[in-house]
Structure 1
Amino acid sequence: MNESVIVGFYGFSNAGKTTLITNLITQLTEKNFKVASVKQTNHSYSIDSPGKDTWKHAKAGADLVCFQTEIETSFIVKQQMSIEKIKQIMNCFNCFDIILVEGAKDKDIQKIRLDEETPLRENTLFTFDGDVNKIISIIEKQRNRRE
């Protein structure tokens, strides 16, 4: 099993993280990359909705709730996880070339800063200068090294 390349992106609110990541996802999938994404936030809330069946399952004590429909499968794990643990779980799917992390708080992953005003974080590759191809090139090189 090849381990996924993981790259994080960070910057102040409205710095363009989501726009950049969605652009990267589009371009990478066009190049036949299998892409996963993680959104990290400083807020304490759940994507689950009170009163819904999945919420009731978790409220009853389920540590993992899976929601399956005809078009997708969602997993809700009722615990905070490190990015390393998330990566391990995603690698179990054995199908992702790249994991893009919006927020990128973990010091151990390589990351790209989106604006000069945001304090530099450990393991930052560079500050984004608008050149998406530079990021894609880095991702392609890292993937080729792991194959």
Structure 2
Amino acid sequence: MQKVLGIAGWSGSGKTTLIEALLPRLAARGLRVSVIKHSHHDIEPDAAGKDSWRHRQAGAAEVMLLSPKRVAVFAELAQELTLAEQLARLQPVDLVLLEGQKWQPVPKLEVHRPQLGKPLLCREDAQVLAVASDAALEIALPQLALNDHDAIADFIARWLEECK
């Protein structure tokens, strides 16, 4: 199984912004990284009326849209994919970041903003390795400044090395 790190936190904590800042920094370290973004809402990434949408509407189980530089697969699911099924759909990489899916039993970096008024996940989840926050916290885990993207990328790179 590919190496997976959850980027977990409550809605509005800054997970997407952090991942966006981390991706070029991890790539600069020679790491190939993929992201799985979970949504609690139904998604419609395909444009109504386009050929691929029409194929799905006509009953195709999956439609692959392919160009010289990109591929997208639109699939109708009977039930949500397991983490193993999600990972099986990706090409091999050095690291897969999970945005959301905080319930998954994988190592995690928690993103926490006290001003949201939400509890720390690390208090209930032993899989949390460290917490990136915009405030000092009273926890025993390593704390990373949420806006110090280089330090967070260094932490992730060290963790990957330790996992080998």
Q: Same fold (TM over 0.5)?
A: yes
For structure 1, which segment, 117-126 or 48-57, has the greater mean C-alpha deviation from structure 2 after superposition?
Answer: 117-126
Question: Given the superposition, is the C-alpha separation of residues 5 and 52 from structure 1 closer, same or farther in structure 2, using an over 3 Å criterion?
Answer: same
- The structure whose RCO (Cα within 8 Å, separation 6+) is larger is 1
Aligned-residue RMSD, C-alpha = 2.1
Instruction: Give the equivalent residue in structure 2 for 1:86.
Output: 86
Question: Given the superposition, is the C-alpha separation of residues 118 and 9 from structure 1 closer, same or farther in structure 2, using an over 3 Å criterion?
Answer: farther
Which runs of structure 1 show a deviation greater than 6 angstroms over 4 or more consecutive aligned residues?
A: none
Instruction: Give the equivalent residue in structure 2 for 1:33.
Output: 31
User: Alignment length, in residue pairs?
Assistant: 141
Percent identity over the alignment? Answer: 25
Question: Given the superposition, is the C-alpha separation of residues 118 and 127 from structure 1 closer, same or farther in structure 2, using an over 3 Å criterion?
Answer: farther
Structure 2 unpaired stretches of 5+: 133-143
Q: Is 2:31–2:95's contact at 8 Å kept on the other side of the alignment?
A: yes
Aligned-partner SS, 1:105: coil
Letter in 2 for 1:124: V
For residues 40-64 of structure 1, the C-alpha deviation after alignment (integer angstroms, 9 at most, x for no partner) is 1111222112221111111122222
Q: Which protein shows a greater Rg?
A: 2
After TM superposition, the structure 1 = structure 2 runs for residues 76-115 of structure 1, keeping only pairs within 5 Å, are 76-79=74-77, 80-90=80-90, 93-94=91-92, 96-115=93-112
After TM superposition, the structure 1 = structure 2 runs for residues 124-139 of structure 1, keeping only pairs within 5 Å, are 124-128=128-132, 129-130=144-145, 131-132=148-149, 133-139=151-157
Structure 1 unpaired stretches of 5+: none
After TM superposition, the structure 1 = structure 2 runs for residues 1-147 of structure 1, keeping only pairs within 5 Å, are 3-79=1-77, 80-90=80-90, 93-94=91-92, 96-115=93-112, 116=114, 117-119=117-119, 120=121, 122=125, 123-128=127-132, 129-130=144-145, 131-132=148-149, 133-143=151-161, 145-146=163-164
